[in-house]
Amino acid sequence: MRHLSISSKLFSNNRKKLSARLPGKALSVANANDVLPTNADGSLPLHPNSDLFYLSGIEQEESLLVLFPNAANPKHREILFVREPNEHLKIWEGYKHSKEDAQKISGIQTVYWTTDFENIFQLLAAEAEVFYLNDNEHSRASNEVETRDQRFNEKICSDYPLHKIERLAPHLHELRFCKSAEEIKLIKQAIDVTSRGFRKVLRMVKPGVSEYEIEAEWAKEFIRRRSKFAYTPIVASGENACVLHYLQNDQTCKKGQLLLMDVGACYANYNADLTRTIPVSGKFSRRQKQVYSAVLRVLRQSIENATVGKSLKEWQNDSHDMMTEEMLRLKLITQAEVKKQDPDQPACRKYYMHGLGHSMGLDVHDVCNGQYEFKENSVFTVEPGIYLPEEGFGIRLEDDIQITKNGPVNLMSKIPIEAGEIEEIMNR
Ligand code: GLY
Ligand code: MN
Ligand code: MN
């Protein structure tokens, strides 16, 4: 792995929390992700399964984790299955975990080869009554391609039709929503790498530079710091910034334009999610600065509003109220429009059409089904924006925050955001 090694305590603590939720005679299974095919004999690099990583630190394909907290044999309470290394794999793919390495990474003592899975599982099934099976239950998950978990679940349900099946995902969503100190540390590392990337980019943006050259600058900084892109970066000049999921990054930045960059690093599977909007020529126009300041005010107030117990829906609605005030001042909407607006579709949605933020962690849009309010040590993005295609620009500002019982902590407070500071750095 590119990242430095992580103490197995992080993972054993997570297993402890999950095991405490499993009733007697229940076992849970978490699978690795599939290596996804492309064309011909091609495949994508493995994207580690977040749940398996959360519980074991294991990032190798085909691995499985079984937790059976009340198994009669103490050796069966935590079992990890990994691919057995062989000469062929060694020649073509190189390193695969030995049992000792898998033990060290995960802190799990019982490690078997995956070829032993069926026999061992049959033994466990004879003792267990309930299987907690995993699935991607993110409320916006794409269901087009069957996952390894889903194939596994189908097989288990057909092989053991008389066992009771329960859903593992709701437990993992609840546990993963609040981050441990070790997880916050890794998120901060991803943010630090992102911050370094932004400072590099601030020095090279000027008229004539292309969006892809800017993407390359981010990539260079991320990769040399043991990281990768947390998601496909958005590097959008001018009107492109109004395409919320702009991914082409193929245009040239022009004088007078703004450049919106939504870019985050992923370090050790933990993510950062940053958006900054900067002037291509190093100076905001009067109008650009007016809109920029409006978005920045909404960002700052929304960060302050993110307190333990605050309802996420209310938090979003408060941002609509703030945006409405700002847009009236900017003469983007009228009092008449506000008066007759549908409360579920306020007038400000015309120029601010996305959510205010999302939970973030091992996934950029982290799992959080069933979470309706901020909790202590939940980590959120805050990302208001105003998009004005008819004026040729869009502005979004996005910071990542940690919710604590003493109030929100801005994990990106050191990343330049004041218009004046951005201009000053760009003109140095
Ligand atoms: N980069 C994705 C987002 O901001 O949600
Ligand atoms: Mn983002
Ligand atoms: Mn985001």
According to the 3-state scheme, what is the secondary structure of the chain?
A: CCCCCCCCHHHHHHHHHHHCCCCCCEEEEEECCCCCECCCCCECCCCCCHHHHHHHCCCCCCCEEEECCCCCCHHHCEEEEECCCCHHHHHHCCCCCCHHHHHHHHCCCEEEEHHHHHHHHHHHHHHCCEEEECCCCCCCCCCCCCCHHHHHHHHHHHHCCCCEEEECHHHHHHHHHECCHHHHHHHHHHHHHHHHHHHHHHCCCCCCCEHHHHHHHHHHHHHHCCCEECCCCEEEEHHHHHCCCCCCCCCECCCCCEEEEEECEEECCEECCEEEEEECCCCCCHHHHHHHHHHHHHHHHHHHHCCCCCEHHHHHHHHHHHHHHHHHHCCCCCHHHHHCCECCECHHHHCCCCCCCCECCCCCCCCCCCCCECCCCEEEEECCEEEEHHHCEEEECEEEEEEECCEEEECCCCCCCCHHHHHHHHCC
User: Could you tell me if the CB of 399 is within 6 A of ligand 1?
Assistant: no
> Region 243-263: what's the mean pLDDT?
98
Query: Ligand 1 test: best mutation among 398, 400, 412, most atoms within 8 Å of CB?
Result: 398
Task: Report whether pLDDT(176) > 90.
Answer: yes
Task: Report whether pLDDT(104) > 90.
Answer: yes
How would residue 1 be classed by pLDDT, with cut points 50, 70 and 90? confident
pTM of the predicted model as reported, rounded to 2 decimal places: 0.97
Mean confidence (pLDDT) of the chain: 97
pLDDT single digits (tens) 70-81: 999 999 999 999
Measure 284 CA to ligand 3 centroid, in angstroms: 24
Instruction: Pick the residue whose CA is nearest to atom 5 on ligand 1.
Output: 365
Distance CA 238, CA 394 (A): 7
pLDDT score at 39:
98
User: Could you tell me if the CB of 273 is within 6 A of ligand 1?
Assistant: yes
The closest of 244, 284, 236 to 260, measured between CA atoms, is 236
CA-to-CA dists, residue 160 to 20, 122, 153, 420, angstroms:
25, 9, 10, 65
The closest of 185, 184, 171 to 15, measured between CA atoms, is 171
User: Could you tell me if the CB of 59 is within 6 A of ligand 1?
Assistant: no
User: Could you tell me if the CB of 262 is within 6 A of ligand 1?
Assistant: yes
Are the C-beta atoms of residues 66 and 27 closer than 8 Å to each other?
yes
Beta pairing partners, 261: 235, 276
How would residue 355 be classed by pLDDT, with cut points 50, 70 and 90? very high
Q: Please give the number of the atom of ligand 1 that sits closest to the Cα of 231.
A: 1
CATH 3.90.230.10, applies to 181-426: yes
pLDDT single digits (tens) 362-411: 999 999 999 999 999 999 999 999 999 999 999 999 999 999 999 999 99
pLDDT score at 5:
97
Measure 35 CA to ligand 2 centroid, in angstroms: 26
CA-to-CA dists, residue 388 to 45, 115, 238, 288, 302, angstroms:
37, 57, 10, 10, 21
Measure 273 CA to ligand 3 centroid, in angstroms: 5
Measure 73 CA to ligand 2 centroid, in angstroms: 47
> Region 232-252: what's the mean pLDDT?
98
Distance CA 184, CA 166 (A): 30
User: Could you tell me if the CB of 231 is within 6 A of ligand 1?
Assistant: yes
Query: Cα 311 to the chain's mean position, in Å?
Result: 21
pLDDT score at 143:
85
Q: Diameter of the chain by CA atoms?
A: 74
Task: Report whether pLDDT(148) > 90.
Answer: yes
Are the C-beta atoms of residues 166 and 26 closer than 8 Å to each other?
yes
pLDDT single digits (tens) 56-68: 999 999 999 999 9
CATH 1.10.3470.10, applies to 8-176: no
Domain borders along the chain are: 8-176, 181-426
